[in-house]
């Protein structure tokens, strides 16, 4: 059977692209919560509250994922944060992610689990430290 997929040489760069885009999107959640940018309808959480701590994870973790530093342990922690977010915030509203608006949390959780297993890819601080 003939392989019609993406060439194997693109695996590393595409892993890096997945990590970078995920980091940027996640970082945006942290900046919205803690810095008010971009503006969102949700008010800033009180310091040291659960949502504030989540914002710190999103801001710092998103930045670390973006540059690819300590990717595996950070991604593992962020996957846990997203699992907690899903079960605490979204799941009580409905068992269906489309209805409870939890699709993003589920997707982030599993992308972070993948990054925890696969690593940062070649375009990363982790990758340059190995070389």
| Model confidence, pTM | 0.92
Q: What is the total count of domains within the chain?
A: 1
Query: Long-range pairs for 124-128 at CB < 8 Å and ≥24 separation?
Result: 124/16, 124/19, 124/67, 124/68, 124/69, 124/71, 125/67, 125/68, 125/69, 126/68, 126/69, 126/70, 126/71, 126/72, 127/16, 127/68
- The encoded tokens of residue 35 equal 């810095």
Assess if residue 41 is contained within a domain.
yes
Assess if residue 59 is contained within a domain.
yes
Residue 113 confidence (pLDDT) above 90: yes
Assess if residue 1 is contained within a domain.
no
Q: How much of the chain exceeds pLDDT 90, in percent? A: 87
More confident residue, 7 or 104: 104
More confident residue, 3 or 31: 31
Q: Within 10 A of 31 (CB to CB), how many other CB atoms are there? A: 17
Assess if residue 113 is contained within a domain.
yes
- Express each pLDDT in 35-71 by its tens digit: 999 988 888 899 999 999 999 999 999 999 999 999 9
Domain of 57, in residue numbers: 9-125
């Amino acid at each position: 059977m003939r392989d019609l997929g993406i060439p194997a040489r693109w695996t590393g760069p595409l892993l890096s692209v997945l990590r970078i885009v995920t980091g940027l999107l996640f970082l945006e959640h942290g900046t919205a919560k803690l810095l008010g940018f971009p503006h969102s309808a949700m008010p800033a959480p009180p310091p040291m509250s659960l949502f504030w701590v989540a914002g710190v994870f999103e801001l710092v973790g998103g930045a670390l994922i973006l540059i690819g530093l300590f990717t595996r342990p950070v991604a593992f922690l962020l996957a846990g944060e997203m699992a907690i977010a899903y079960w605490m915030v979204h799941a009580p509203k409905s068992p269906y992610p489309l209805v409870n608006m939890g699709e993003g949390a589920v997707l982030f959780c599993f992308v972070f689990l993948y990054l925890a297993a696969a690593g940062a890819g070649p375009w990363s601080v982790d990758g340059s430290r190995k070389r």
